[in-house]
A = this chain, B = another copy of it.
Amino acid sequence: MDLITIEYIGKQPKLNNPMFIEGLPGIGNVGKLAVEHLIDSIKAKKFAEIYCKDFPPQVFINPDGTIELVKNEFYYWKAKKKEQRDIVLLTGDYQGLSSQGQYELVDTILTIIEKLGVKELYTLGGYGLGHDITRPQVLCATTDKQLVAPMKKHGAVFKRNEPGGGIVGASGLILGLGKLRGFQGACFMGETPGYLVDPKSAKAVLKVLMSLTKIDIDLTALEKKAKEIEQIAQQLREMETTSKERPEDLKYIG
């Protein structure tokens, strides 16, 4: 059994100079939330699934009682207007568990999208601040110096020496390995407290993406989710105040 299994679904897309947008689970689940919202909004079509021995040995249970092996999923979307571009999207249940698994997965992802004609990579994630934030900014890092100015125009922010620890995981590695293979691109990191899933931060990231992709996205659903999470966060803060114990189990609710 190979480390990675790719299952192609239905007719494979022929795309015209597509851009690639990735959002996998991570801090505040910002990247995953943003890409999933985008996929729903533009009604992107799934064309491939990735199974990997470096994902946990786990199935999820659908509402109808059937199981689903954990995986990553590729979607595509064809431009509707002249100013838009075709898009390949990636989201999923997990990133690779081990360092070597991460490198292999990203290498495979790059091979798949290279064949589809992708030259530009946009990866999404959260930047954990460890404290509350009212108006999350979207930090950025790019593969090439000349991409800094255009990304600023789309609303992304560059802060010298932030994130100090660089970018860990698929969002960083896709750019890092991609750069070695001749891709160009940027990572958008929404600021987030990092304790809970953060639709507010995902919304900030999507605003940058809307400018970049020239796609109009309805953000109402995310705003509603953001309010729900804000209520949970408020309840947790109250529990903390009374019990003086940080609710560890709730930190990474997905």
Q: Which of A31-68 contact B (CB under 8 A)?
A: 51, 53-61, 63-68
A: interface residue count bin: 35 or more
Minimal Cβ-Cβ distance residue in B for A104: B1
- A16 and B97 CA atoms in complex are apart in Å by 40
Please measure, in the bound complex, the distance between the C-alpha atom of A172 and the C-alpha atom of B172, giving whole angstroms: 31
Q: Are A3 and B57 in contact (CB under 8 A)?
A: no
Return A172 CB to nearest CB of chain B, in Å.
4
Q: How far is the CA of A142 from the CA of B168 in the complex (A)?
A: 36
Tell me if A145 is interfacial: C-beta within 8 Å of chain B.
Answer: yes
- The answer to whether A69 and B167 have CB atoms under 8 Å apart is no
Determine whether the beta carbon of A58 is less than 8 Å from that of B166: yes
Query: Is the C-beta of A77 less than 8 angstroms from some C-beta in chain B?
Result: no
Taking the full assembly, how many copies of this chain does it contain? 4
Task: Check if A173 is an interface residue, CB within 8 A of chain B.
Answer: yes
Q: Is A78 among interface residues, defined by CB-CB distance under 8 A?
A: no
Interface check A169, CB cutoff 8 A:
yes
> Is the C-beta of A161 less than 8 angstroms from some C-beta in chain B?
yes
A148: chain B residues within 8 A (beta carbon) = 64-66
The answer to whether A99 and B97 touch (CB under 8 A), given A61-B163, A67-B179, is yes
Residue pair A145, B65 in contact (C-beta under 8 Å): yes
- Residue in chain B with minimal CB distance to A144: B66
Task: Determine the distance from Cα of A22 to Cα of B112 in the docked complex, in whole angstroms.
Answer: 36
Nearest Cβ on chain B to A73's Cβ, whole angstroms: 14
Residues of A114-145 contacting chain B, CB below 8 A: 140-145
A-B contacts besides A66-B145, A67-B187, 14 pairs, CB < 8 Å: A7-B180, A51-B180, A53-B99, A56-B168, A57-B99, A58-B165, A58-B173, A58-B176, A61-B162, A64-B145, A67-B142, A67-B179, A69-B176, A70-B166
